[in-house]
Amino acid sequence: MKSIRIVFFIATVFTCNLSVAQDSYTRMDTILHSLPEATISVVGLASGASGLDEVPGSLHLITSLELAKFAYTDPLRVLMTVPGVNFTEEDGFGLRPNIGLRGSGTERSSRITLMEDGILIAPAPYTASSAYYFPSIARMSSIEILKGSSQIAFGPQTTSGAINLISTLIPTVSETHFLFESGSFMNTQMHLTSGNTHHTDKGSFGYLVEFLQIGSDGFKVLDNGGDTGFSKSDRLVKLRWDSPSTAMLKQSLQIKVASVEEQSYETYLGLSSADFALTPYRRYAASAEDVMNTSQTQYVLTHTITPLAYLELRTDIYRTDFHRNWYKLDRAVDSTGTTVKLGSILNSPDDYSETFSYLTGVNTTGEAGLDVKANNRTYFAEGVQHRGIFTFGENKLIYGVRAHRDGVDRFQWRDRYTMLDGAMSLSTPGVEGTAGNRVESAEAIATYVRSILHFGKFTFTPGVRHEYITFKRFDFGSDDLERVGEGEPRSNTALVLLPGAGLNYTLFESLDAFVGVHRGFIPPGSSPDTEPETSINTELGLRYSSNSLSAQMVLFNNDYENLLGADVASSGGTGSGDLFNGGSALAKGLELEIAYDPFADGPFDHLAMPTRIGYTYTDAQFTSTFDSDFGAWGEVEVGDRLPYLAEHQLSFITSFEVKKIAVDVSARYTSSMRTIAGQGDFIDSESTDATTILDAGFRYTLSDSFTISVGATNLLDGTYIVSSRPYGLRPNMPRAIKFGIRASF
């Protein structure tokens, strides 16, 4: 793999600009946003498509107009309306969202491919794919969600789908936009973007400067007071040069530099069922010291060129660095010195009455204490990726290659606290490195090739992806804190070939049918005893479009083998991060989406009421019997349903727009989810609540430059159990009101 390091110094880089022509999806987007001539510009996921029939899978695009309507800062609220997206709430703000696609599992979004502007964005996508960093959704201009056989072009996680977050684009003319919102719990958002493009005989020079600040005092109440909120700031600069319009060789060069800092007073400690029933927004005294500090930087250099009329090329050189130290309660110790897991305490507080009392603020006695762990980790990811598109008449050949390295350095410790008069008191500082002292890395070469072939009413999109990955880990343990030795080594290698194909057929002018199949893959990590997870994924769909109505229906079937589970604290594990194989599972279901505007045709053209309804049915169950140390799986029997996957999800979004006034409404229903694998009737102690959430907003356009708004999330103020992991029950955010002003110059 030494060749990867050599590739990092190659500076020949290329790209292409992609667009999706008017088709059924474009009309759906037109209806939803009242755009008379919508053009969807796809940055990454369509990978060379010029029409939806050329995308070998289900594509969903959330445009800037939809993002602006509610101005959400929580990515879960944005993605909840997309059919086929699974999610598990955690902190109520979406700081570290748990997202899956088509029954893939949601643990820390580790089982899907996450990208920003087509660049892998998880802290270490191969080595440690858990998304402890997630880009701020508030600064995105659009979002692409791709499911099905289009996964051939994207990885490393290819079992279910990919999400590409598209950052603010450099404007073609001078533009400055400013948004300020404030409301309940001191929830605030301040967002500023400014940019321009200057045209000269040497080419066009564009720039963008962006700043985002979001934060809150928190909606939970800590025993004896204390902060339960967060503060997060983003800074981004883009510089771009495009060759003159008269140049024989069309090309461009863009530099993107971004940094993010966050401080969040978040905890993994939830509530017992009795305390949740009385005070669902309480935080126990033992979580008073919990805080997460993170910083992230990203550098991307992108060069695009069209050397020939039939050839478009793009290459990106990228580097991301991420550091986080989540200082949080890890375990309790009773008066005899026995360590007790937090999950055990909160699941059976009567059986662990002594340690449970310490969590609630009762004075510790004897050898008792509370261990707070500094989960101190540093991540990096770097690489070069290149894509080329050959066009031959109506047909295309698309290839891609990526040389990538990433890794994580753990250097962790535990501090012992006692509880005195309801307050945490440090008694024994830990020694840095004694609770985790190892480095882990991965090197990968990924390639793919796919074709777009037109035969009359048929469009055939075959392709294949190849991944070669080597994993290494060196564990220095608590006896070599200076890392003077070589550490205890272990390694693993994965080599996979992932074929797939899609077929689209135009039944009528307004009706298309499509089918897709591909082989999916999840990398196995550094343990030599762990094998990759693989799957066979199939889908069958119909798309319909007319002037006022568009619809899409998809049946999907994902058959998983060698399921990979992860020992992560966010799922109630020890936090080692180790991957392990389980058995097999089958996830199947239905996705349905309808977009309609009753005023699209007729005499009321001054009115608009774009409406979208989305529904997802998911049936995900294990197809083998096995025992697992993964708490949410446990002893699995054939037919057990996978945990944290809702069987039914229903969403409804509409906007009533007339002249300067707009009223926006978003409603979402999610059925109960099991928190532990099982079958039969739901058990209250092993399931979440069914949730119905209603958001609403009012916008008034004062002038071409100013808009004021008022909005409410969880308007009905429902309180629900949304999760019982990592430790104890967790609530959703209560009703929150916000006021905002948006200015454009």
Q: Please name the amino acid found at residue 607.
A: L
| Spatial CA neighbour of 93 closest among 262, 289, 272, 321 | 262
Cα distance between residue 612 and residue 62, in whole Å: 12
What average pLDDT score do residues 670-694 get?
A: 93
Which residue would you say has higher pLDDT here, 727 or 37? 727
CB burial class (10 A; 0-12, 13-18, 19+) of residue 701? middle
Cα distance between residue 649 and residue 102, in whole Å: 12
How many CB atoms are closer than 10 A to CB 433?
Answer: 21
Sign of the Cα pseudo-torsion (573, 577, 578, 580, in order):
positive
What average pLDDT score do residues 232-244 get?
A: 98
- How high is the pLDDT of residue 50? 55
What average pLDDT score do residues 596-622 get?
A: 85
Cα distance between residue 7 and residue 315, in whole Å: 12
- How high is the pLDDT of residue 64? 86
| Spatial CA neighbour of 77 closest among 92, 65, 63, 64 | 92
Q: What is the pLDDT of residues 501-547, one digit of tens each?
A: 999 999 988 899 999 999 999 999 999 988 999 999 999 999 888 87
In this predicted structure, the answer to whether residue 731 has a pLDDT above a threshold of 90 is yes
Asked if 533 and 548 count as a contact pair (C-beta separation under 8 A), the reply is no
Which residue would you say has higher pLDDT here, 418 or 152? 418
| Spatial CA neighbour of 446 closest among 408, 490, 494, 492 | 494
What average pLDDT score do residues 694-723 get?
A: 96
In this predicted structure, the answer to whether residue 42 has a pLDDT above a threshold of 60 is no
Which residue would you say has higher pLDDT here, 714 or 545? 714
Sign of the Cα pseudo-torsion (84, 38, 33, 612, in order):
negative
Maximal CA-CA distance, the chain: 82
DSSP 3-state assignment of 3? helix
- How high is the pLDDT of residue 9? 31
Q: H-helix or E-strand containing 39?
A: none
How open is the CA angle 227-412-155, to the nearest 5 degrees?
90
pLDDT tier, 108 (very low <50, low <70, confident <90, very high otherwise): confident
Tokens (6 digits) for 502: 């899609």
Backbone phi and psi for residue 442, each to the nearest 5 degrees, phi listed first: -145, 145
| Spatial CA neighbour of 268 closest among 345, 167, 171 | 345
Asked if 287 and 222 count as a contact pair (C-beta separation under 8 A), the reply is yes
| Spatial CA neighbour of 556 closest among 514, 605, 591 | 591
- How high is the pLDDT of residue 547? 78
- How high is the pLDDT of residue 48? 55
In this predicted structure, the answer to whether residue 744 has a pLDDT above a threshold of 80 is yes
User: Domain boundaries in the chain?
Assistant: 2-744
In this predicted structure, the answer to whether residue 140 has a pLDDT above a threshold of 50 is yes
In this predicted structure, the answer to whether residue 43 has a pLDDT above a threshold of 50 is no
pLDDT tier, 20 (very low <50, low <70, confident <90, very high otherwise): very low
Backbone phi and psi for residue 398, each to the nearest 5 degrees, phi listed first: -125, 135
Q: What is the DSSP letter of 286?
A: G
What average pLDDT score do residues 624-644 get?
A: 84
What average pLDDT score do residues 110-119 get?
A: 93
Sign of the Cα pseudo-torsion (322, 328, 332, 337, in order):
positive
What average pLDDT score do residues 8-23 get?
A: 30
What average pLDDT score do residues 172-198 get?
A: 97
Tokens (6 digits) for 313: 């090329």
Asked if 722 and 731 count as a contact pair (C-beta separation under 8 A), the reply is yes
Over pLDDT 70: what percentage of the chain? 89
In this predicted structure, the answer to whether residue 301 has a pLDDT above a threshold of 50 is yes
How many CB atoms are closer than 10 A to CB 24?
Answer: 22
Asked if 522 and 532 count as a contact pair (C-beta separation under 8 A), the reply is yes
In this predicted structure, the answer to whether residue 188 has a pLDDT above a threshold of 60 is yes
Tokens (6 digits) for 388: 């080329």
Edge-first strand order for the sheet with 161-167 is: 58-62, 140-147, 161-167, 113-116, 119-120
Over pLDDT 90: what percentage of the chain? 74
pLDDT tier, 39 (very low <50, low <70, confident <90, very high otherwise): very low
Q: What is the DSSP letter of 128?
A: B
Tokens (6 digits) for 152: 């051939």
Q: What is the pLDDT of residues 419-443, one digit of tens each?
A: 999 999 999 999 999 999 999 999 9
- How high is the pLDDT of residue 546? 81
Which residues have C-beta within 8 Å of that of residue 712, sequence separation ≥ 6? 695, 696, 697, 735, 736, 737, 738
How open is the CA angle 218-219-220, to the nearest 5 degrees?
95
What average pLDDT score do residues 128-152 get?
A: 87
pLDDT tier, 153 (very low <50, low <70, confident <90, very high otherwise): confident
In this predicted structure, the answer to whether residue 58 has a pLDDT above a threshold of 80 is no
- How high is the pLDDT of residue 685? 86
> Which has the minimum average pLDDT: 257-271, 489-503, 552-566?
552-566
Cα distance between residue 490 and residue 485, in whole Å: 15
- How high is the pLDDT of residue 529? 87
**Radius of gyration for the chain, computed over Cα atoms and rounded to the nearest angstrom:** 26
pLDDT tier, 152 (very low <50, low <70, confident <90, very high otherwise): confident
Q: How far is CA 531 from CA 407, 488, 565, in A?
A: 19, 21, 11
In this predicted structure, the answer to whether residue 560 has a pLDDT above a threshold of 60 is yes
In this predicted structure, the answer to whether residue 555 has a pLDDT above a threshold of 70 is yes
Q: How far is CA 343 from CA 116, 151, 629, in A?
A: 35, 36, 14
> Which has the minimum average pLDDT: 327-341, 396-410, 518-532?
518-532
Which residue would you say has higher pLDDT here, 409 or 21? 409
Average pLDDT, the chain: 89
Beta strand 85-88 pairing with 58-62: unpaired
Q: What is the pLDDT of residues 167-179, one digit of tens each?
A: 999 999 999 999 9
Cα distance between residue 209 and residue 234, in whole Å: 11
pLDDT tier, 631 (very low <50, low <70, confident <90, very high otherwise): low
- How high is the pLDDT of residue 419? 97
Cα distance between residue 1 and residue 445, in whole Å: 8
CATH topology of domain 2-744: Maltoporin; Chain A (2.40.170)
Tokens (6 digits) for 189: 């958002």
- How high is the pLDDT of residue 49? 58
Backbone phi and psi for residue 132, each to the nearest 5 degrees, phi listed first: -70, -10
In this predicted structure, the answer to whether residue 104 has a pLDDT above a threshold of 50 is yes
Sign of the Cα pseudo-torsion (85, 89, 90, 95, in order):
positive
Asked if 551 and 544 count as a contact pair (C-beta separation under 8 A), the reply is yes
Q: H-helix or E-strand containing 538?
A: strand 533-545
